[in-house]
Amino acid sequence: MTARSATAVLAGLDGVRDDLESFYRDLHQHPELSHQETKTAAKVADRLQTAGFHVTTGVGGTGVVGILANGDGPRVLLRADMDALPVREATGLDYASEATSTDADGNTVPVMHACGHDVHVACLATAAALLAAGKDQWSGTLIALFQPAEEVANGARGMVEGGLQDLVGPVDVALGQHVLPMPSGSVGTRVGPVLSAADSLRVTVHGRGAHGSMPQAAIDPVVLAAMIVIRLQTIVSREIAPTQPAVLTVGSIHAGTKSNVIGDSAVIDLNVRTYDEQVRSQVLEAIERIVRAECVASGSPKEPDFERYDEFPVTTNDQAVTERTAAAFTDFFGDAAGELPLQTASEDFSDIPNAFGVPYSYWGIGGIDPDTYAAAERAGRVSSDIPVNHSPYFAPVIQPTLDVGTQALVVAALAQLGSGA
Amino acid sequence: MTARSATAVLAGLDGVRDDLESFYRDLHQHPELSHQETKTAAKVADRLQTAGFHVTTGVGGTGVVGILANGDGPRVLLRADMDALPVREATGLDYASEATSTDADGNTVPVMHACGHDVHVACLATAAALLAAGKDQWSGTLIALFQPAEEVANGARGMVEGGLQDLVGPVDVALGQHVLPMPSGSVGTRVGPVLSAADSLRVTVHGRGAHGSMPQAAIDPVVLAAMIVIRLQTIVSREIAPTQPAVLTVGSIHAGTKSNVIGDSAVIDLNVRTYDEQVRSQVLEAIERIVRAECVASGSPKEPDFERYDEFPVTTNDQAVTERTAAAFTDFFGDAAGELPLQTASEDFSDIPNAFGVPYSYWGIGGIDPDTYAAAERAGRVSSDIPVNHSPYFAPVIQPTLDVGTQALVVAALAQLGSGA
Amino acid sequence: MTARSATAVLAGLDGVRDDLESFYRDLHQHPELSHQETKTAAKVADRLQTAGFHVTTGVGGTGVVGILANGDGPRVLLRADMDALPVREATGLDYASEATSTDADGNTVPVMHACGHDVHVACLATAAALLAAGKDQWSGTLIALFQPAEEVANGARGMVEGGLQDLVGPVDVALGQHVLPMPSGSVGTRVGPVLSAADSLRVTVHGRGAHGSMPQAAIDPVVLAAMIVIRLQTIVSREIAPTQPAVLTVGSIHAGTKSNVIGDSAVIDLNVRTYDEQVRSQVLEAIERIVRAECVASGSPKEPDFERYDEFPVTTNDQAVTERTAAAFTDFFGDAAGELPLQTASEDFSDIPNAFGVPYSYWGIGGIDPDTYAAAERAGRVSSDIPVNHSPYFAPVIQPTLDVGTQALVVAALAQLGSGA
Amino acid sequence: MTARSATAVLAGLDGVRDDLESFYRDLHQHPELSHQETKTAAKVADRLQTAGFHVTTGVGGTGVVGILANGDGPRVLLRADMDALPVREATGLDYASEATSTDADGNTVPVMHACGHDVHVACLATAAALLAAGKDQWSGTLIALFQPAEEVANGARGMVEGGLQDLVGPVDVALGQHVLPMPSGSVGTRVGPVLSAADSLRVTVHGRGAHGSMPQAAIDPVVLAAMIVIRLQTIVSREIAPTQPAVLTVGSIHAGTKSNVIGDSAVIDLNVRTYDEQVRSQVLEAIERIVRAECVASGSPKEPDFERYDEFPVTTNDQAVTERTAAAFTDFFGDAAGELPLQTASEDFSDIPNAFGVPYSYWGIGGIDPDTYAAAERAGRVSSDIPVNHSPYFAPVIQPTLDVGTQALVVAALAQLGSGA
């Protein structure tokens, strides 16, 4: 029955595919940084309104919630994230972004949808419209949620703190998806842990400035920061059990303004991924131990500063919801549906169902041209040749990516909703 | 005789000391970046004109040249540099700079006279006025030259390329000075090498960007840059003879924009100081060897880029001119005059006499409160406690620094000029 | 039925427990290095002979094979390894080893059973005797195999090359066990990958020797080797997917003979653990890439030398054999039997069943005092407080370790053998 | 007059040159480690006795002192050192050493005269004999001293502690020389600092051992030691003023015995060269600061151990003695005599004159074929192509090295002694 109603609802896709694709191109060409998603939010709100949803904007800043009540039945929340990244696009696409924006520090930065949130927005807006148009095929309440600021880990929490629960009322289940470097056309999910916990840390270490020709008068923060970066590698290589996945990335390092001036501090920003609370603590403690000791080794005049931010929860798919979703995917997509491998990425999606205390399921859809992917796989070059999320070269193929992203949302929603009249 | 005429000329200092000090405070409070010294140049030009010099502005950009012909005799060029640095002042002085400016890359940066060029400008403007007022004490031609952009190594060359020689005509000798972290009141010079050669290098290394959770898909430019910084330390520690002074400072390192995005490149700016052409080549070749090899070690997808800039010549004081200057200093300053140790700093001053093909002498004056200096010396803490040039804490005491800087210029100039009527 | 026969066979354990324990103490106090296990082999051969086995010694050097034919039925091979390690025992046990021996390089080294092979030998000798005494409880052929030189990865292969198959004839299944840092009393196994592949590599890098006071005349191999050790950490931390277990350990580094002489080479020995052929190649290729590049960075006068050794296969437990074994363990041991986590250790055990082309199962038994282990677990200090195999502090508690090691062999063997008369 | 007497004494050189050369070859082929110089001492004692000296052996172990009283006049001590190094000779000379010996740790090591002490011994034995044969050319007392164990910094002190002063009586001046990588035929000296202070340090750092597959259970001492080696480079590159010569060499690093066992400690031996007491303290303190901090960074379970040894004094040539010696060299050798550059090597020679409280002079003679040297110089490859002291390729050309070494001793001695009858 689900399969039949999905087919019925999705019959409308042919009629809106051009709109879906042009909406996607528009979003891709006009990316907005976290908490600045005003234009994206306005476009989304407009579409939901047109589709018949009751729409609230400005939830937790720029968040948008559309509610479509359709009789008795489960209350199902579908979520997409809207923000883009400070990355200079290098895809060469004819709809590539040339946008820049002012970031939170007041710097002008390039902006790019390098993580595929434009896919998520376009697909959810379209799926919501199709479900609204085919409301005879299901019963219950559909909540289409577009959140800001997933990239900085506080967009979902911001909507919760902005009154999401009062606005929406009870929810039974939440669903979300992400476009990933898998073959376009494929969809995958898994029971249990699916995305990692993530913790960001800004470390500022202090040296003593001097003219570059007088190192003896200085404590060199560049050398200190470099030693820390190198030393931090040993946490994953030596301190964590090899069977425990853990990632420590120093994403940025900044020190000094001129070649011939030794500055007085250096700043590194790092990110930790783990799937286990004990491993997480162990990594975070090791970072602090190493940074402090390296500062002592340099004779640093001042304790280092540590600032935690972007703390993402683990994403752990509920067994019942996910088995139901996976079965519906297999019905609809056949062999293109499968098991999603454990991901090292993180998401704040689960902050939403966790606020409601309800189960959730999260899946991935492929964005890479299947032939390209297959060729890379044959050559054993997937990891080197396929641009991944956050790469300046990340460029999902438009189709079948957008179709599958829309279909997956419809199929998964119908699998949770009540049957039609 | 020199001593007598110096005393006569400098008798006027008492009457202009207040003006000298308030001019200095004004300069310190209104620093200008390299090639932006328009206000400083205007103030200087105004003072030279008032003193009776024939003044040309806009030489090589913002350079100022004042010429005072005073009968037959040697043509003596006195030089000061005018530019400040992108450093955020931390001296806490009541006349501290709060200035900011837009640098060559379009960024807003703090600006500070952290290298004492404000001392040089105030002293030369005052010395020129005193010499003009006392022109019965000497004969010849005095050329007071205020150059832009010493910090970026091309201000002197810019004035040469901007027609300095046509403007000035022949020159017999050039003189310059620098305020240094020595006790205020002291003045020192030396025959032979006095300042090092300097070479700046911008190195860009290439990785491959990816989401921070997928290091296996990336080639991490932060780790690569850190390894390079560490490896570069071995050039001075292992490759250069310990009796050959050499400095390699990585003044800045910049890579990445976010904690959880692995970028695709890193940029380091470094500076090399040497006193010997073979050592200089050896260091520069070793840098390139190490950077290239570390890129290979990381599996870098692209050759690194090397950009040379700020290439400063060696400053080597002429024996005859310097012995004459040193003798005049001893006559005038007594025990406060001495031998200047070999400096690891660099200057583009010598580009000017080199363009004329004439001998030159360059000396240092102290800027540190003598009691503070003596206390630091007793505690064996000079190198850690005395802020040096380019430090955000660099703060010459006003007196006797400004008096000595003015006197030294007058004394040294008179030592080269002809006797008065 | 199995459970009943196991109980019957093991009824004899009470009568030989003193002998089992004193044999173990004797083995522990007299450890022998790889390929030097002559005394251990003689003791084992003597016991097998006494028990009624047909015994062959000197198989592949010092290997021992005992065969006990007991009517029709499966031919089951039980294997133990005999060699000890060049480690100086620090357990403080009253039966601690004080032995030394001459290693393959002619150096005198301490010797210790730091990997628990003494447990394996004592338990298998005792289990073989009990099974021989209780031969009415089973039918088939029992092959008790004691191999040399597991630690150097070629003892099993050596026995195969020494004619094992001709000697033994057909085999149906092979079984092996290892004492591990788990609570004594526990036994665990798992289907599929259980132990990693391992590859050892000796890397010799070349510098240029000189007096220690003249680094400029040298190419310092100590600095080069240190840079390599540091750089190699980035393979696991940055190049391998976090969900792919991989270990790269530099076990030894040796360079130079005196503080003030820069030598001309350095030698590092490293070991790689992986569970996947592609990951294995990737790590080995990265090692070579990094070593070669670091040699270039140092200006090394000669290509580095690479020597591969101690290449261990993956150990992957057969599903049917292992499920049978696990069921028998649960029957016999109750809650003390469980799932063995994936191990990062390696073994050459599988070279034996692989030579016969037959399935196998391999399990672990605990060696740590259960109270000590539980306390460490409560304190979150298992990884820091519990000495592991190869540690100079590795000291399995005698009981229930030896009982369980003997029982597990008997139970697992009976689970594969035919039923008794 | 000196020149004339030198010519007279050295007229005998032609007659003993064959003996000088064959003695040298014999010494080179039979090197002895520090404190094991029994055969060398016996040969030397025999020659001194034959020449008419009053000889004492066994002074401070294997030291030899010959005294030749020749009327009133200055008492001049000439010193040579006798020990060789644990280096495997790679010169390919037909008289190359193939010797091995047991070192202080009980290891069998190769032995080579890689520092040229064989030149010193052969030349002093011959010079002593020539001076004895020409005793009509001078008056005073000649003391020929052959010391053990210069390489381990305690041979000179050992002779002093062994009663040298009582044995010899008063001394007026001491002289010593060293063969260096300069063109053979040349001789050079300098007033003031000539050789550096040297300090050796053995640092033992502690980790925690484990099987190589379980890094999470270990604290890896190899990684810790490598980080320390890398960090120590920053002392010279960043902490010491570039105009202050300083060398820090990690001559040896040793940790671990097997590729797949993480050991529990690592040992590094390092050597420091400085010319200034404050710089010396600064380096030694920085070493301790860095080692301790790196141990903390690794989570080392135990404080590191520091053991100081081989502490060499600075060698600072007396002005009057050295000017007298230099003048005599110029008289005798003409242009081949010159200024010796400041050496980064160290010596315990000065412990002898310091014990007597008398002035001394120390010079260098060249050992490299002049054509080879000139070619390397033209190619800018002296530092890479000319093997230096302690290199396995160090091979002084026999002539004119031995002639000049003998002549320099005779000339310098006569410059201090009284005139002949």
In this predicted model, what pLDDT tens digit does every residue of A293-305 receive, in sequence order? 999 999 999 999 9
**Does the structure show a pLDDT above 90 at D320?**
yes
At D1, the pLDDT band (50, 70, 90 cuts) reads very low
Taking the whole predicted model, whether its pTM rises above 0.80 is answered as no
Q: For residue B248, what is the nearest residue in chain D, using CA coordinates?
A: D237
Average pLDDT, chain B: 95
Q: How far is CA A118 from CA A77, A85, A159, A344, A349, in A?
A: 19, 11, 19, 21, 16
Mean pLDDT for C139-163 is 96
**Does the structure show a pLDDT above 90 at B373?**
yes
Measured distance between the N- and C-terminal CA atoms of chain B, rounded to whole angstroms: 12
Q: Which amino acid is at A344?
A: T
Q: Which amino acid is at A149?
A: A
- Residue-wise pLDDT tens digits, C306-324: 999 988 988 999 999 999 9
Probe site for chain A from B223, B250, B261, B307 (most A CB atoms < 10 A): B261
Whether the CB of D109 is below 8 Å from some CB of chain C: the reply is yes
Give C220's contacts in chain D (Cβ within 8 Å).
249-250
ipTM of the complex: 0.72
B242–D341 CB contact, under 8 Å: no
Give D247's contacts in chain B (Cβ within 8 Å).
242
**Does the structure show a pLDDT above 80 at C384?**
no
**Cβ-Cβ contacts under 8 Å for A243 (sequence gap 6 or more):** C245, C341, C342, C344
Residue C380's pLDDT is 80
Q: Touching A: which chains, 3+ CB pairs < 8 A?
A: B, C, D
- Residue-wise pLDDT tens digits, B148-160: 999 999 999 999 9
Q: Is residue C215 within 8 Å of B238, Cβ to Cβ?
A: yes
Per the annotation, does B123 bind a ligand?
no
A383–B262 CB contact, under 8 Å: no
- Residue-wise pLDDT tens digits, A305-357: 999 998 898 899 999 999 999 999 999 999 999 999 988 788 999 999 999 99
Q: Touching B: which chains, 3+ CB pairs < 8 A?
A: A, C, D
Whether the CB of A93 is below 8 Å from some CB of chain D: the reply is no
Whether the CB of C152 is below 8 Å from some CB of chain D: the reply is no
**Does the structure show a pLDDT above 60 at C1?**
no
Q: For residue D282, what is the nearest residue in chain B, using CA coordinates?
A: B380
**What is the rounded distance in angstroms from the CA atom of residue B229 to the CA atom of residue B253?**
9
Q: How far is CA C313 from CA C59, C92, C144, D386, D416, in A?
A: 21, 35, 22, 49, 76
* B4 vs D224, more confident: D224
D216–A241 CB contact, under 8 Å: yes
- Residue-wise pLDDT tens digits, D339-366: 999 887 889 999 999 999 999 999 999 9
- Residue-wise pLDDT tens digits, C244-302: 999 999 999 999 988 989 999 999 999 999 988 789 999 999 999 999 999 999 999 99
Whether the CB of B233 is below 8 Å from some CB of chain A: the reply is yes
Residue C421's pLDDT is 65
Average pLDDT, chain A: 95
Contacts of C53-56 with C-beta under 8 Å, sequence gap 24+, read C53/C128, C53/C132, C53/C142, C53/C144, C56/C167
Element (H, E) at A151: none
- Residue-wise pLDDT tens digits, B295-333: 999 999 999 999 999 889 889 999 999 999 999 999 999
**Does the structure show a pLDDT above 90 at A395?**
yes
Q: Touching D: which chains, 3+ CB pairs < 8 A?
A: A, B, C
Residue D421's pLDDT is 65
Q: Where are the beta strands (DSSP E) in C275-376?
A: 305-312, 315-317, 337-339, 360-368
Residue A313's pLDDT is 84
- Residue-wise pLDDT tens digits, B196-214: 999 999 999 999 999 898 8
Per the annotation, does D294 bind a ligand?
no
Q: Which amino acid is at D194?
A: V
Mean pLDDT for B258-279 is 93
> Mind listing the domains of chain C with CATH numbers?
3-194+314-419 (3.40.630.10), 197-311 (3.30.70.360)
HSE of C385, CA atoms in CB hemisphere, 13 A? 14
Q: Is residue C413 within 8 Å of C130, Cβ to Cβ?
A: no
**Does the structure show a pLDDT above 90 at C115?**
yes
CA D122 distance to own-chain centroid = 15
How many Å lie between the alpha carbon of A379 and the closest alpha carbon of chain B? Answer: 15
Bridge partners, B271 (sequence order)? B200, B249
Whether the CB of C102 is below 8 Å from some CB of chain D: the reply is no
Largest CA distance in chain D: 82
Give A220's contacts in chain D (Cβ within 8 Å).
234, 238
What percent of chain C shows pLDDT beyond 70?
Answer: 99
**What is the rounded distance in angstroms from the CA atom of residue C303 to the CA atom of residue C292?**
7
- Residue-wise pLDDT tens digits, D63-87: 999 999 999 999 999 999 999 999 9
**What is the rounded distance in angstroms from the CA atom of residue A384 to the CA atom of residue B216?**
8
**Does the structure show a pLDDT above 80 at D88?**
yes
Picking from D213, D250, D344, the nearest residue to C214 by CB comes out as D344
**Does the structure show a pLDDT above 60 at D238?**
yes
10 Å CB burial of residue A378 (0-12, 13-18, 19+) is: exposed
**What is the rounded distance in angstroms from the CA atom of residue D240 to the CA atom of residue D385?**
29
Residue B277's pLDDT is 78
At C417, the pLDDT band (50, 70, 90 cuts) reads very high
Whether the CB of B192 is below 8 Å from some CB of chain D: the reply is no
Residue B345's pLDDT is 83
Angle (nearest 5°) at CA B90 between B89 and B93: 90
A-C C-beta contacts closer than 8 Å = 46
Give B214's contacts in chain C (Cβ within 8 Å).
241
CA C349 distance to own-chain centroid = 8
**What is the rounded distance in angstroms from the CA atom of residue A123 to the CA atom of residue A398?**
11
Q: What is the DSSP letter of A343?
A: P
Picking from D234, D342, D380, the nearest residue to B243 by CB comes out as D342
Residue C345's pLDDT is 83
Average pLDDT, chain D: 95
Whether the CB of A261 is below 8 Å from some CB of chain B: the reply is yes
Residue D287's pLDDT is 98
Picking from D233, D242, D273, the nearest residue to B245 by CB comes out as D242
Residue B1's pLDDT is 43
**Does the structure show a pLDDT above 90 at A275?**
no
In which residue are the tokens 């590599």 written?
C201
Give B344's contacts in chain D (Cβ within 8 Å).
241-243
Whether the CB of B383 is below 8 Å from some CB of chain D: the reply is yes
Q: For residue A109, what is the nearest residue in chain B, using CA coordinates?
A: B257
Picking from B214, B220, B297, the nearest residue to C293 by CB comes out as B297
- Residue-wise pLDDT tens digits, B101-136: 998 888 899 999 999 999 999 999 999 999 999 999
* Dihedral (CA of D22, D23, D24, D26) sign: positive
**Cβ-Cβ contacts under 8 Å for D374 (sequence gap 6 or more):** D183
Residue A314's pLDDT is 87
- Residue-wise pLDDT tens digits, B6-21: 999 999 999 999 999 9
Mean pLDDT for D79-105 is 94
Q: For residue B345, what is the nearest residue in chain A, using CA coordinates?
A: A213
A243–C245 CB contact, under 8 Å: yes
B238–C227 CB contact, under 8 Å: no
**Does the structure show a pLDDT above 70 at B421?**
no
Which is nearest to D248 in space by CA: D207, D197, D213?
A: D197
Whether the CB of D226 is below 8 Å from some CB of chain B: the reply is no
Whether the CB of D303 is below 8 Å from some CB of chain A: the reply is no
